[in-house]
């Protein structure tokens, strides 16, 4: 398959990983078939509608439905037989005990095994615990139903290329990767994988050796889990230090800047606040803790990381309760629902935990988020204590406090004199440490950040 210029790729699972990956490769010139078992998703994508928000995906979808570089299908058997390379991008949710549920991957592997009739490379992109690629390889090499001889074994190679795309920046990250980790147990596949990414290297003016890290499949799987667990560790570390700053009246932003100036530490992921959320960091941390347990390795450091993060909501709520003890009669403007800006993702968002706790105390909440309000209504529903605002100032009318729960840049740009006028009591609880304390207090507000 070396150096083919007209390869067809089939991407199985068209969610936050699969769809940007499929469209990214289509934009690089490959023929891509996107496959999903959810027929309504397939139907909506075929019409050019993306069922979730991800910057840039919408326009790439329209562009490549038109260019015919991207087609969508729910017929996995057909897709397998059209394609040279099969990408596994299905979800790996977590079980209650924190371990990763890889059943969607296993089921897909059985389906692929039954459809494969000629040589394929199967690329595992879903985030998985170590040894999943080996499980896929074993499934693919088992005899098909009603067949005595091993079938797919000689036809299939399994490669692990973990994805490091951030939600909200998935397309940007696809075209500007910091590294492409490739786990292979057979180094003769190297050339084909380099060929797959060659149009990207040409587009961005990089060489294969600038970006590609070749390793074995287990190391590639661990790299993904370790990267997200390290990011979570960095965040819980800085959040722990911010608690000290809060107690002694120091400033966590100055501490972050001071330690981040050392390139061995680095400035990113040092913003203290109400903690990390989303679908990836919490889940991958749990799954990595489970891998430690399964393999008899002490990962207790990561259990502490998780505890610090779980406690962020309590720290934030105590600050509100210390200032306004009787929450029952209070009304708050909630600025931000998403787990981070530029996404409508609210799964594991600290904002949702905070909202639930405040509702338990009968506080009235008026919510505003630039993107996530429809998803909130859909997934969480509403209550008589909750209403929705048309903009941040509207959310704050007659409120006792503004709660900043997502660091959307537009929250920084609000007219503070207008905000001051509409609020009952001008107090800001900045859960993302995003406003300038001096500026806000000089504008007449009482201001509470987390360690600033
Ligand atoms: C994360 C990783 O950053 C990606 O590299 C990875 O590919 C992805 O998971 C995945 O596994 O699919 P993502 O979940 O999109 O990406 O979110 P991040 O941008 O990493 O943010 C995670 C959380 O940390 C957010 O809640 C954010 O608000 C919080 N955060 C981030 C802080 O509280 N402070 C910071 O300084 C940075």
Instruction: Give the number of other Cβ atoms within 10 Å of residue 131's Cβ.
Output: 16
Best of 179, 231, 433, 450 for a ligand 1 pocket test (most atoms within 8 Å of beta carbon)? 231
> 53: CA distance to ligand 1 center in Å?
16
* Mean per-residue pLDDT, 45-61: 97
Going by alpha carbons, the residue nearest to atom 28 of ligand 1 is 340
Confidence of residue 150 (pLDDT cuts 50, 70, 90): low
Q: How confident is the model at residue 143 (pLDDT cuts 50, 70, 90)?
A: confident
> Ligand 1: which residue has its CA nearest to atom 3?
166
pLDDT on residue 329:
83
The pLDDT score that the predictor gives to residue 6 is 84
Task: Enter the tokens of residue 66.
Answer: 């038109």
Q: Which atom of ligand 1 is nearest to the CA of 432?
A: 33
Question: Which pLDDT tens digit goes with each residue over 80-96?
Answer: 999 999 999 999 999 99
**Would you state the pLDDT for residue 3?**
61
For the beta carbon of residue 228, count every other beta carbon within 10 angstroms: 22
Q: Say yes or no to pLDDT of 149 above 80.
A: no
Residue nearest to ligand 1 atom 24, measured at CA: 276
pLDDT of residue 155: 82
Give me ligand 1 centre to Cα 278, in Å: 7
State in Å, rounded, how far the first CA of the chain is from the last one.
57
* 245 confidence band (pLDDT: 50, 70, 90): very high
Q: 196: CA distance to ligand 1 center in Å?
A: 27
DSSP labels, 105-170: HHHHHHHHHHH--S-EEEEE-S---TTHHHHHHHHHHSPPTT--S--SGGGEEEEE----PPTT-H
What is the spatial order of strands in the sheet that 386-388 belongs to? 386-388, 364-368, 331-335, 401-404, 427-430, 446-448
- pLDDT tier at 159 (50, 70, 90 boundaries)? very high
List all residues whose CB is within 6 A of at least one atom of ligand 1: 127, 163-167, 228, 231, 235, 269-271, 273, 276-278, 280-281, 284, 339-340
Going by C-alpha positions, the residue among 313, 301, 224, 247 that lies closest to residue 277 is 313
Span from the CA of 6 to the centroid of ligand 1 (angstroms): 35
Average pLDDT in the 155-166 region? 96
Q: Percentage of the chain surpassing pLDDT 90? A: 95
Atom 14 in ligand 1: which residue has the minimum CA distance? Answer: 280
Pocket probe mutation, ligand 1, options 57, 92, 309, 340, max atoms within 8 Å of Cβ: 340
Atom of ligand 1 nearest to the CA of 269: 36
Stretch 96-102: mean pLDDT, rounded? 96
Per the document, the length of the chain is: 452
Residue with the smallest CA separation from ligand 1 atom 35 is: 269
Per residue in 327-344, pLDDT tens? Answer: 998 999 999 999 999 999
Could you give the C-alpha distances from 137 to 122, 142, 184, 185, 380, in angstroms and in order?
9, 9, 12, 11, 39
Question: Using 50, 70 and 90 to split pLDDT, how confident is the model at 154?
Answer: low
* Catalytic residue status for 280: yes
pLDDT in the model for residue 146: 63
pLDDT at 105: 98
Catalytic residue (choose from 57, 139, 200, 280)? 280
What is the gyration radius of the CA atoms in the chain, in angstroms? 24
Residues 349-390: pLDDT tens digits? 999 999 999 999 999 999 999 999 999 999 998 899 999 999
Condensed to tens digits (0 to 9), the pLDDT of residues 401-447 reads 999 999 999 999 999 999 999 999 999 999 999 999 999 999 999 99
Which tens digit of pLDDT belongs to each residue from 62-79? 999 999 999 999 999 999
The ligand 1 atom nearest the CA atom of 270: 36
pTM for this model (two decimals): 0.95
Nearest in space to 11 (alpha carbons), one of 35, 31, 27: 35
Instruction: State yes or no: pLDDT of 148 exceeds 80.
Output: no
**Distance (Å) from CA 220 to ligand 1 centroid:** 20
Enumerate domains of the chain plus CATH numbers.
Answer: 8-215 (3.40.50.720), 225-310 (1.10.1040.10), 312-448 (3.40.50.720)
- Could you tell me the distance, in angstroms and rounded to a whole number, from the CA of residue 130 to the centre of ligand 1? 21
Q: What is the mean pLDDT of the chain?
A: 96
């Amino acid at each position: 398959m070396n150096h083919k210029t007209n390869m067809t790729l089939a991407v199985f699972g068209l969610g936050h990983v699969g769809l940007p990956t499929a469209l990214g490769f289509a934009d690089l010139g490959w023929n891509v078939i996107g496959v999903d078992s959810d027929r309504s998703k397939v139907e909506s994508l075929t019409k050019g509608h993306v069922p979730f928000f991800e910057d840039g995906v919408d326009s790439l979808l329209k562009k490549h439905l038109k260019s015919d570089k991207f087609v969508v299908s729910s017929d996995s058997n057909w897709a397998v037989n059209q394609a040279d390379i099969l990408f596994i991008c299905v979800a790996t949710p977590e079980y209650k005990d924190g371990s990763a549920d890889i059943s969607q991957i296993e089921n897909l592997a059985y389906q692929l095994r039954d459809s494969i009739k000629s040589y394929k490379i199967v690329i595992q992109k879903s985030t998985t615990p170590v040894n999943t690629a080996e499980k896929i390889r074993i499934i693919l090499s088992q005899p098909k139903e009603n067949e005595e001889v091993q079938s797919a074994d000689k036809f299939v190679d399994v490669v692990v290329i973990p994805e490091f795309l951030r939600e909200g920046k998935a397309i940007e990250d696809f075209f500007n990767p910091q590294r492409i980790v490739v786990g292979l147990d057979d180094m003769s596949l190297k050339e084909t994988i380099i060929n797959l990414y060659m149009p990207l290297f040409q587009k961005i003016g990089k060489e294969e050796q600038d970006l590609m890290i070749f390793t074995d499949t287990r190391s590639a799987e661990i790299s993904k889990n370790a990267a997200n667990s390290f990011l979570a560790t960095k965040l819980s570390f800085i959040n722990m230090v911010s608690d000290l700053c809060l107690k002694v009246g120091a400033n966590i932003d100055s501490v972050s800047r001071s330690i981040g100036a050392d390139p061995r530490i680095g400035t990113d992921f040092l913003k203290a606040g109400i903690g990390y959320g989303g679908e990836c960091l919490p889940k991958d941390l749990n799954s990595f803790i489970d891998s430690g347990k399964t393999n008899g390795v002490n990962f207790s450091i990561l259990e502490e990381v998780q505890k610090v993060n779980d406690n962020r909501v309590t720290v934030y709520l105590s600050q509100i309760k210390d200032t306004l003890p009787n929450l029952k009669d209070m009304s708050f403007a909630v600025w931000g629902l998403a787990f981070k800006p530029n996404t409508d993702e609210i799964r594991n968002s600290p904002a949702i935990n905070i909202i639930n706790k405040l509702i338990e105390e009968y506080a009235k909440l008026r919510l505003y988020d630039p993107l996530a309000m429809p998803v909130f209504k859909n997934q969480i529903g509403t209550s008589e204590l909750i209403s929705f605002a048309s903009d941040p100032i509207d959310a704050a009318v007659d409120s006792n406090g503004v709660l900043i729960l997502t660091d959307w840049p537009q929250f920084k740009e609000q007219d503070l004199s207008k905000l001051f006028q509409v609020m009952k009591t001008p107090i800001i609880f900045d859960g993302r440490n995003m406003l300038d304390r001096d500026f806000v207090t000089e504008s007449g507000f009482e201001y509470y950040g987390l360690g600033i």
